[in-house]
Structure formats: C-alpha cells, structure tokens
Amino acid sequence: MTNLKDDFWSVRELTSEELILVEVYQRSGRSVDDLPYTDEFEQICKELKASDPIEKHQLFRKLLSLRKQGLLPNVYRSQRHVARSRSEAQETE
C-alpha cells in the first residue's frame, strides 16, 4: 500500500503535447493572467494551430489548469516592458 502523503505531494510529468504548450507559452513572455486578448496569445494560438474561439478557449483553460497544478513555470515581463506596452496601447486608443 502506498503512503497517501507521498502521493499527495508527487507531481505528474507533462505529456508531449503539454511540453510543447509550455515551451510556446514561455516564449510569449507573459504570465497566464496577462495573456488573454494579447498579440502574444494570438501568436501562441497560431503556433499551436488553434484558430476558432472554442480551440482558443480550450488552450487558455489548459494553461490555467497547468498553472494550478504547479506545472507551468512563472513568466514575468520586466516592469519597463509592461509600462511601454501600456503606453503603446493608450496611444492606439
């Protein structure tokens, strides 16, 4: 019989599809919370061939699920880049 405590703290390995998703996500340079409705998210969808809204939604949910499981590495942009992105967004409005 296995120890439940050991099973609780064990982390499962990523599938090959999940590994590809994590790799593409890391290149985006945005945290999952900052990702929706950005050019970076559209690039992730394009690379993974998710074109319709349902596929994009499923892709984002998968990223959230991986993060909650502790399987998604933290990705943070520098504050300088975030400030520049915000000012660029304000200029286009």
Residue 83: what pLDDT?
52
Torsion of CA 30, 92, 42, 86, to 10 degrees: 10
| pLDDT tens digits, one per residue of 23-56 | 999 999 999 999 999 999 999 999 999 999 999 9
Residue 80: what pLDDT?
47
One-letter identity of residue 41: F
Region 11-20 average pLDDT: 88
- pLDDT at residue 4 greater than cutoff 90: no
Residue 13: what pLDDT?
87
pTM more than 0.75: no
